[in-house]
Structure 1
Amino acid sequence: MSTRDETFRPLSRRTILGGLAAAPLSLAASRAVAQGTGPIRIGELNSYGRMAAFAVPYRNAMQLAQDAVNKAGGIKALGGRPIEIVFRDDGSTPGDATRVAEELLTRENVAFLCGTFLSNVGLAVADFANQRKALFLATEPLTDALTMGSGNRYTFRVRPNTYMQTRMLVDAVKDRGIKRWAIVAPNYEYGQSAAANFKRLMAAAVPGFEVVGEQFPALGKVDAGATVGALSQMKADGLFNVLFGADLTAFVREGNTRGLFEKRTVASLLTGEPEYMIPLGDETPEGWVTTGYPWETIDTNGHKEFVAAYRARFNDTPRLGSLLGYVVVGMIRDMLEKAGSTETEAMIAALEGLTSQTIAGPVTMRALDHQSTLGAWIGETALNGRQGTMRRVRYADGANYMFPEAEVKAARKA
C-alpha cells in the first residue's frame, strides 16, 4: 500500500487511448537522465527473437502502457518525469543475457532491470542482479527457484510460478477420480519443476495416485511421433502436459492423429494462452483442463478498454504476453510513485508489499519471497468454429496458490 494512502488504479480509458498518440522522447531528454530531470530509463531484456509469439505482444503492451503513463503526466512523485523502456534481446542464453544486462546498466544508464522469458535465463539475470545490487523485476520466467532456493533481495517476480499454476490445475482435476497419470514435459528446469510439483501435489490430493510413465523431450526438438507412441503404450487414464510453442503444436497434431487424447483427462499448463492456441487452430483438442487467457470474456476493471486500445494501435488481438506487459508497467508506475526515488533500496522497499489495482484485478507483491499474487484463468479448451478458445473459465487468484510461508523460509535459509 502507498505510504500516502493513495490507491493506484488501472490506467483510465482516456489515458490509455490518449497514450496512442504520445510522441517519442527526444535524445536530449534521454541524456538528461544523469541529472535526474529526464526520463526514468528502464532496462527490459527478453527473448524477442526465439520466443517472439509471447515477447513481441508483451513489448507492444509495454509500449502502450508507457505512452499512457507519460500522457497522464509521468511519475508525479518524481516531478512528472516520464518513463522510457529500453528494449533488448537477451539472446535466450544465460551468457548473452548477463552481457546484455551489464550493457543496460553501464551503457544505457537504466535505473533497474526487468523481463526475461526462459527460466535458466531468468535465474542467470537474478544472480547477476544480486551481485551488482541492482533491482530486477522478473516478469515471465516461471521457475520456482527464482523466488525460493535461488531467491535474493534484489529479485522480484510477477507471473505465477510453476508451483502456483500446477496447483491450480491439480485443484481442477483432483476430484475426477483419475489415478493413473503419464507426464510429458520439456527437458529443462521449467518442465522438470512442473512435473515434480504435479507428482507432489497430486499425491497429496488423490489417494492411490501414481505416475505410470514420463517423457522429457528436449525443448524445441520434440520427436512427436516417438513421444506420442511412448505415451500411448503407458495405458494412463490422465495426461499432464507441459509442452508449449512449436513443441505443443507438433505434439497435438500427432496425438490427434493417433487418438492419444481420446477418453483421457488431459491437464495442460499454458495451452489456453492465445500464443499457443492460435497456432493450433482447428486442431485444438477439446476438453483439456488448462491455464490460459480468454481475453474476449474478461470483464475486470479496465480490461475492455485495454483490449480496445491494443487492437486500435496494433490491429491485433492481445495475447497473454500483452496482458503481462501492461500489468508490469502499471506495477512499475506504482512502485516509483510510492518510492519517490530511483535509488535501488527505495524501490525495493516500495515493491515489498505493494498492491497494484491492475486490469487482472488487485496484485500484491509478497514481501516474504518477492512473488506477486497475479493469478491465471483456468478452464477447458474448446473449438469456436476453426479456432481454439476456453470455456467454463474462472480466475484463480494467485494469493490462494502460493508456496506456504514455512517452505519459503526454509528454502531461502538453505
Structure 2
Amino acid sequence: MQRRTMLAAGLGLAVAGLMSTARAEDVIKIGEINSYSLLPAFTEPYRKGWQLAVEEINAAGGINGKKLVVVSKDDSGKPADAQTAANELVSSENVAMLAGTFLSNIGLAVSDFANQKKVFFLAAEPLTDAITWSKGNRYTFRLRPSNYMQAAMLVEEAAKLPAKRWATIAPNYEYGQSAVAVFKKLLSEKRPDIQWVDEQWPPQGKIDAGPVVQAVAAANPEAILNVTFGADLVKLVREGNTRGVFKDRKVVSFLTGEPEYLDPLKDETPEGWIVTGYPWYSIKTPEHDAFLKAYQTKYNDYPRLGSIVGYQTIKSAAAILAKAGSTDTEKLIAAAEGLAVPSPFGEITFRKIDHQSTLGAYVGKTAIKDGKGIMVDTVYRKGSDYLPSDAEVAKLRPKD
C-alpha cells in the first residue's frame, strides 16, 4: 500500500512537471525594466501602452501560436538596480529578450549587461546617442528617435531664428549632456555666427530654478535651449515666467510638447516655444486613429507619448520574435536588422547599420487652449530624414 502511494505520488509529480514544461514551452517571455517608481508621469502611460500591445498580440494568436508574457521590474532610477533586474530576468525568468528603460544612463547600463551576457535588448526610451553609436553593440536596438534625430529636427527651425546669442539649460547627466552637445554642434554648423553665452546644468530631478533662471538672465541671451522635463520643467517655467526671463526670447525645447510634461503646466504653459512632442488630438491618420480608439476604449483616457513608446516597444519585440521563429539571440538579431514594422506613426525600420529605428517625432509650437497647454502648427518628421549618412555612422559606431 505504502509503495503504491509513493509510486502514485511520484507519477503525480512527474505529470505535474511535464505539464509545467508544456506550459513553459507554450509561452514566450519578454523581460521589461523601467523607472516606474521614479517617473510615474511617463511610465504609467507607458505600462498601459505595452499592456494593450500584449492583449492585442495574444488576441491575434500570440507569437507563432505561443502566448506572449511580459515580466516587468522597476529599476528605481538606479543603473545598478537595472542590471540586477536584468540578471534576474535572464537567469530566473528565462526571458527571450530584455526591453524598456527610460533614463539614458540606465539604458547604457542595461545595454552593457546585454553585451556582456549576449542577450537581445530593445531600448525603448533612452535618448543618448551613445546607445547606438559610441557605445553601441550588436545586442542593443533602440526604438525612440535619438538626441541627434530630435536635435536635427529642432535645429531645422532654430536656424531660421534671428537670434545669435544662445544659452542652454539641461539636466546634468547623460541625456542632458548628449542633447546639448549635439544641438550645439548641429546649430553651429548651420549658423557659424551663433555664440553660446551660458550653460546651466541643474541636477536631474533636483533643479533649484531660481539661481538657474537668474544666471541665464544675467547672460542676456536672445534664445534658450531647454532640455529639462517633468517636475524640473514645471519649476523652471514657473520661475522663468515670474522673472520674465522667457519674455521676448525664443525658446527651443526637447520633449516639452509631450502631454505628460505639458499637461501639468496648464495655463502656465509658455506660448511659442519650438518643441518636439505628441499632439494626439490633431493626428489624423488611419494608423493613429486605430491606436487611439483601442487605447481610449481600454482605459477611458487619452494616450501620452509614453503610451506610444510602451505599445510600440512590445509590438516591435513581438515582430522580431515572430520573424526569428526562435528565441535564439543571434536569430533575433538577424531578424531585427532591417526589419520594417507598422506603428501608430506609420511604418518604421530598425536599421542594420546602427540598430536605430526610424520612428520620427512631431515638431511644433506650444500654445494654450481652454486653460491647457497644447502643440500647434505640428508636422511629423520621419526619423529616416534626420540621420547622418552611413559613412558618418560607421565612424561613430565601434565595430562589433
TM-score w.r.t. structure 2 length? Answer: 0.93
Counterpart of 1:24 in structure 2 is none
Amino acid at match of 1:340: G
1:77-116 paired onto structure 2 within 5 Å? 80-116=65-101
SS in 2 for 1:338: helix
Counterpart of 2:9 in structure 1 is none
Please give the alpha-carbon distance, in whole angstroms, between the structure 2 residues aligned to 1:28 and 1:292. 50
Structure 1 stretches of 5 or more lacking a match? 1-26
Please give the alpha-carbon distance, in whole angstroms, between the structure 1 residues aligned to 2:205 and 2:308. 25
Percent identity at matched positions? 52
Equivalent residue for 1:130, pick from 115, 119, 125? 115
Counterpart of 1:54 in structure 2 is 42
Please give the alpha-carbon distance, in whole angstroms, between the structure 1 residues aligned to 2:94 and 2:145. 30
Equivalent residue for 1:189, pick from 174, 178, 181? 174
Please give the alpha-carbon distance, in whole angstroms, between the structure 2 residues aligned to 1:115 and 1:146. 13
Equivalent residue for 1:224, pick from 202, 209, 214? 209
Please give the alpha-carbon distance, in whole angstroms, between the structure 2 residues aligned to 1:52 and 1:31. 35
Counterpart of 2:379 in structure 1 is 394
Counterpart of 1:159 in structure 2 is 144
Equivalent residue for 2:333, pick from 348, 352, 376? 348
- The CA deviation string for residues 171-204 of structure 1, in whole angstroms up to 9 with x for no partner, is 0121122211110000111111111111111111
SS in 1 for 2:290: helix
Q: Displacement of 1:305 after TM fit?
A: 2.3
Equivalent residue for 1:211, pick from 180, 187, 196? 196
Please give the alpha-carbon distance, in whole angstroms, between the structure 2 residues aligned to 1:378 and 1:268. 10
Q: Displacement of 1:279 after TM fit?
A: 0.7
Counterpart of 1:286 in structure 2 is 271
Q: Displacement of 1:403 after TM fit?
A: 3.2
Amino acid at match of 1:409: A
Counterpart of 1:12 in structure 2 is none
Amino acid at match of 2:74: D
Amino acid at match of 2:159: K
- Contact kept, 8 Å, 1:242 with 1:269, in 2: the verdict is yes
Q: Displacement of 1:232 after TM fit?
A: 0.7
Change in 2 beyond 3 A, CA 1:345/1:385: same
Change in 2 beyond 3 A, CA 1:388/1:214: same
Counterpart of 1:258 in structure 2 is 243
Please give the alpha-carbon distance, in whole angstroms, between the structure 2 residues aligned to 1:121 and 1:145. 12
SS in 2 for 1:367: coil
- The CA deviation string for residues 231-270 of structure 1, in whole angstroms up to 9 with x for no partner, is 1111111100000010000000010111111111100000
Counterpart of 2:347 in structure 1 is 362
Amino acid at match of 1:70: N
SS in 2 for 1:381: strand
Please give the alpha-carbon distance, in whole angstroms, between the structure 1 residues aligned to 2:300 and 2:202. 36
- The CA deviation string for residues 3-52 of structure 1, in whole angstroms up to 9 with x for no partner, is xxxxxxxxxxxxxxxxxxxxxxxx9999547853x211000000011011
Equivalent residue for 1:272, pick from 248, 257, 261? 257
Structure 2 stretches of 5 or more lacking a match? 1-15
Q: Displacement of 1:333 after TM fit?
A: 2.2
Amino acid at match of 1:172: E
- Contact kept, 8 Å, 1:120 with 1:189, in 2: the verdict is yes
Equivalent residue for 1:64, pick from 43, 49, 52? 52
Please give the alpha-carbon distance, in whole angstroms, between the structure 1 residues aligned to 2:97 and 2:212. 42
Change in 2 beyond 3 A, CA 1:264/1:66: same
- Contact kept, 8 Å, 1:114 with 1:137, in 2: the verdict is yes
SS in 2 for 1:296: helix
Change in 2 beyond 3 A, CA 1:28/1:246: farther
Please give the alpha-carbon distance, in whole angstroms, between the structure 2 residues aligned to 1:391 and 1:33. 53
Amino acid at match of 2:30: I
Amino acid at match of 2:34: N
SS in 1 for 2:159: helix
Please give the alpha-carbon distance, in whole angstroms, between the structure 2 residues aligned to 1:65 and 1:29. 30
Please give the alpha-carbon distance, in whole angstroms, between the structure 2 residues aligned to 1:264 and 1:137. 39
How many residues align structurally?
Answer: 384
Amino acid at match of 1:125: V
